[in-house]
């Protein structure tokens, strides 16, 4: 399929409505990114999403877009409450994959000579790797509580602070979970994994604030140049994967039953008001809450690891949560549609919420500056902290990019890494990487990703978020 891109400005490209598209496509990208997209199938996925019933406005993709299952990764779409659909392909396999940022009172100069030892301590503290298991296995009763209570369950069981819940998207728990909508296989996979990092692009990273772009917002977030930070990126592990896998079969049948014409079976969907959609949504929320609790428990393990290493309490070390954002999720939200305030179902697949100043869903302490938007990059360069804007609310359903976005497949990255001393290369840059798998590190080489700075510049240039700070890695634990 040959995709037509019409340049709107330096940051926006329109894919005109044609054929069975119900709305146009809108891609946030630079000129060079679009040249790459002309050779990539993710733009075709933008077109395919535009054919789904009840889609509103545009089928969108953020600057970190690349090929995914059903929706492109970086895809955003909102659906009408009466005529729209719910699609697991618009959420993804790793339901509520997300990232959280923790600040500290430590300074980069204090720990620069301890990075090797600190990397070992962090690796021991956080369970990671393929099939990794937590320090605590849940019984079925506890798992049911996690699915309904999310990060609140973890805090009430000694894994963190009540204050953590105040700075999480949804307060760390979405309502509407129904554990009976989850298969026994999903439960089996989830019981031993809560509080573990997993593998692939998931990581725990110690970094530092290298640059501040917006002093007022950085102060509100508790960030300043030279400060040590911690990033945690993980999701719902095998539990969420199984929930997605289970419901894809249900949704394929539902698509046929309700006469939904699909350009791609991976976009299987059911009407939002249907029993199938309601059941998937209730199961998806279980996985969302599992992921919130998962990241909360790992944050507790990181705090314990820092306490042991530095011989000080986490409060003395200032290990405070800045924010926790979701990436793969569908949500009921209120937005302006044609001048009216309407309830719509927003799918964000590899995209993150970016609500602007004054929005009631932004934590009170940040409401005057907008929601923190955390954009992790690759393990060799940098990550960014942004803040949501009113422009995002008007144009992108309050959405932004979620990361750098892959530019090489895992296989291509693995081949490009062949024969290289990757750990030594990164140490030469001042970055200590720990992983149980050399293959994972090979698949995650920095050049496998787009330049996060270019991605963020597009998002900031389009006005979807404001740049607040740049973080640079010092220690990275990979699965």
The position carrying tokens 């953590």 is 164
Report pLDDT for 130. 65
pTM of the model: 0.96
Confidence at 479, pLDDT banded by 50, 70, 90: confident
Do strands 340-349 and 329-337 pair parallel, antiparallel, or not at all (unpaired)?
antiparallel
Confidence at 253, pLDDT banded by 50, 70, 90: very high
pLDDT(429) > 70: yes
Planar angle of CA 390, 395, 400, nearest 5 degrees: 75
CB 182, CB 147: distance < 8 Å: yes
Tell which wins on pLDDT, 132 or 305: 305
Residue 64 counted as domain residue: yes
Confidence at 78, pLDDT banded by 50, 70, 90: very high
Residue 221 counted as domain residue: no
Report pLDDT for 133. 65
Confidence at 436, pLDDT banded by 50, 70, 90: confident
Report pLDDT for 199. 84
pLDDT in tens, 12-59: 999 999 999 999 999 999 999 999 998 889 999 999 999 999 999 999
151 DSSP assignment = H
Report pLDDT for 39. 85
pLDDT(178) > 90: yes
Number of domains forming the structure of the chain: 1
Residues that are catalytic: 402
CA pair distance 380, 199, nearest whole angstrom: 17
- Average confidence (pLDDT) over 310-327: 97
Buried b (16+ CB within 10 A) or exposed e, 87-98: bbbbbbbbbbbb
Report pLDDT for 137. 81
CA pair distance 368, 474, nearest whole angstrom: 31
Residue 351 counted as domain residue: yes
Q: Is 41 exposed, middle or buried (0-12, 13-18, 19+ CB in 10 A)?
A: middle
Report pLDDT for 129. 64
Confidence at 132, pLDDT banded by 50, 70, 90: low
- Average confidence (pLDDT) over 342-356: 98
Q: What is the mean pLDDT of the chain?
A: 96
Residue 108 counted as domain residue: no
CB 42, CB 73: distance < 8 Å: yes
- Average confidence (pLDDT) over 257-281: 97
Residue 225 counted as domain residue: no
CB 95, CB 244: distance < 8 Å: yes
pLDDT(82) > 80: yes
- Average confidence (pLDDT) over 428-433: 95
Q: 67 Cβ partners below 8 Å, 6+ apart? A: 40, 41, 42, 45, 73
Residue 397 counted as domain residue: no
Q: How many C-beta neighbours within 10 Å does residue 174 have?
A: 23
Name the residue range of residue 357's domain: 6-93+331-366
Residue 355 counted as domain residue: yes
Report pLDDT for 2. 83
Residue 412 counted as domain residue: no
CB 84, CB 55: distance < 8 Å: yes
């Amino acid at each position: 399929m040959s995709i037509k891109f019409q340049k709107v400005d330096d940051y926006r490209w329109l894919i005109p409505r044609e054929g069975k598209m119900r709305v146009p496509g809108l891609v946030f990208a630079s000129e060079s990114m679009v040249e790459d997209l002309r050779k990539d199938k993710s733009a075709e996925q933008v077109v395919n999403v535009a054919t789904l019933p009840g889609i509103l406005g545009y089928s969108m993709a953020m600057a970190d877009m690349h090929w995914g299952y059903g929706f492109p990764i970086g895809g955003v779409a909102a659906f009408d409450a009466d005529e729209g659909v719910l699609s697991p392909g618009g959420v993804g396999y790793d339901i509520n994959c997300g990232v959280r940022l923790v600040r500290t009172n430590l300074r980069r100069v204090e720990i620069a000579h301890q990075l090797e030892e600190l990397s070992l301590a962090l690796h021991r503290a956080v369970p990671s790797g393929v099939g990794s298991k937590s320090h605590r296995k849940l019984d079925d009763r506890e798992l049911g509580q996690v699915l309904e209570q999310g990060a609140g369950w973890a805090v009430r069981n000694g894994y963190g602070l009540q204050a953590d819940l105040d700075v999480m998207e949804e307060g760390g728990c979405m309502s509407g979970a129904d554990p009976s909508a989850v298969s026994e296989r999903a439960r089996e996979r989830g019981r031993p994994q809560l509080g573990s990092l997993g593998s692939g692009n998931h990581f725990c990273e110690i970094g530092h604030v290298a640059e501040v772009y917006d002093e007022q917002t950085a102060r509100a977030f508790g960030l300043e140049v030279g400060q040590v930070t911690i990033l945690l990126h993980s999701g719902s592990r095998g539990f969420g994967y199984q929930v997605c896998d289970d419901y894809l079969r249900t949704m394929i049948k539902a698509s046929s039953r309700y006469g939904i014409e699909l350009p791609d079976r991976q976009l299987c969907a059911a009407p939002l008001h249907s029993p199938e959609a309601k059941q998937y949504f209730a199961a998806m929320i279980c996985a969302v809450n599992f992921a919130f609790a998962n990241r909360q428990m790992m944050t507790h393990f990181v705090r314990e690891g820092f306490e042991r290493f530095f011989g000080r309490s986490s409060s003395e070390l200032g290990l405070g949560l800045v924010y926790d954002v979701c990436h793969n999720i569908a949500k009921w939200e209120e937005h302006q549609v044609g001048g009216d305030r309407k309830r719509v179902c927003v799918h964000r697949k590899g995209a993150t919420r970016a609500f602007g100043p004054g929005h009631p869903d932004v934590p009170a302490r940040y409401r005057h500056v907008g929601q923190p938007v955390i954009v992790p990059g690759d393990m060799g360069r940098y990550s960014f902290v942004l803040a949501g804007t009113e422009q995002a609310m008007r144009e992108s359903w309050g959405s932004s990019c979620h990361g750098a976005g892959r530019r090489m497949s895992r296989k291509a990255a693995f081949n490009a890494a062949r024969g290289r001393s990757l750990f030594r290369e990164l140490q030469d840059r001042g970055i200590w990487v720990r992983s149980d798998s050399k293959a994972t590190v090979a698949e995650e080489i920095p050049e496998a990703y787009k330049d996060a700075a270019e991605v963020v510049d597009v998002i900031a240039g389009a006005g979807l978020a404001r740049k607040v700070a740049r973080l640079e890695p010092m220690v990275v634990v990979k699965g």
